Structure 1
Amino acid sequence: MKRALHILLLSLYLLSSTELQELAKLPVLFQHYFEHKNLDSNITFFAYLEHHYNDIPHTDNDEARDNQLPFKTHGLSATNALSPALPPSFGLSLKKVYQILPKQKILINNDHVPNSAYAGKIWQPPKSVILS
């Protein structure tokens, strides 16, 4: 019961605050494909995807229907719209910060290397065990 509740809450959170909500629009993708398939019976699914998702705008006079497809519009999720961290008009510019460190000599001290008789045995291949 507790596990089912956790899965339900995680699913609700992911669908409402991430782009996973676009997966709910997958039936529209297939419905629109079959609409195009009725108009042109030679179109393949990959040609349909290329036609609708490439950078070149296509002209088939159904822009309202095309905007219902998954990942076609960029909606604001609840976390982006209601974030208390930054005001909406706050301009954020990220710059790389470089810090030049002076070269330092690294002294290697070999005094701490163990001289145990077992230290060399870890690099040996495993021995086969014969049980009789």
Structure 2
Amino acid sequence: MKKALHILLLSFYLLSCTELHELTKVPVLFQHYFEHKSLDAKITFLAYLEHHYNDVPHTDNDEERDNQLPFKTHELFASSVISPALPPSFDVIPKKVYQILPKQKILINNDHIPNSAFAGKIWQPPKIVS
């Protein structure tokens, strides 16, 4: 029961807040294909898809019917645009914050440098041992 409830809630969310609701228009895609098939018996389904989705100057004088096909129009949902947390007239404009830091003197402490005679030998180039 719990699993079925999760699937149901996930389905409601995906169909209402994403573009998956376009899949409910798939029967219109096939109906429109059969309308074109009755006009031209030689048209294949792939040619029909290419004609309706790939051709930019799509001209077959049924634009109203073509806009009913899946993934042909983009819709904005109120749930994804309007947030109850912010009123619609509330514009968020971030301001740059500048902080002036005072100049600080850096004290250099040379106590960590050893005064040994061997310390200078570390920084010499390697020598070839023969």
TM over 0.5: yes
Q: For 1:80-119, list aligned pairs within 5 A.
A: 80-83=80-83
Aligned residues of 1:22 and 1:70 also touching (Cα < 8 A):
yes
Percent identity among equivalent residues?
Answer: 76
Q: Which runs of 5+ in 2 are unaligned?
A: 93-130
- Count matched residues: 92
Shift of 1:54: 1.3
Superposed structure 1 runs of 4+ greater than 4 Å apart: 84-91
The one-letter amino acid of 2:29's match is L
Provide the TM-score with structure 2 as the length reference: 0.63
- Tell me what 1:112 maps to: none
Paired position in structure 1 for 2:12:
12
Task: Say if 1:51 and 1:13 are closer, same or farther in 2 by CA, change over 3 A.
Answer: same
Distance in 1, Cα, partners of 2:89 & 2:64: 28
**Residue-by-residue CA offset, 1:54-85 (whole Å, 9 max, x unaligned):** 14221111100000000000001343222357
CA distances 1:2-53 after superposition (whole Å, capped 9, x unpaired):
1111110000000000000000000000000000000000000010001000
Across the aligned residues of Structure 1 and Structure 2, the Cα RMSD in angstroms comes to 2.4
Q: Scaled by the length of structure 1, what TM-score is found?
A: 0.62
Match of 1:111 in 2: none
Structure with larger RCO (C-alpha < 8 A, sep 6+): 1
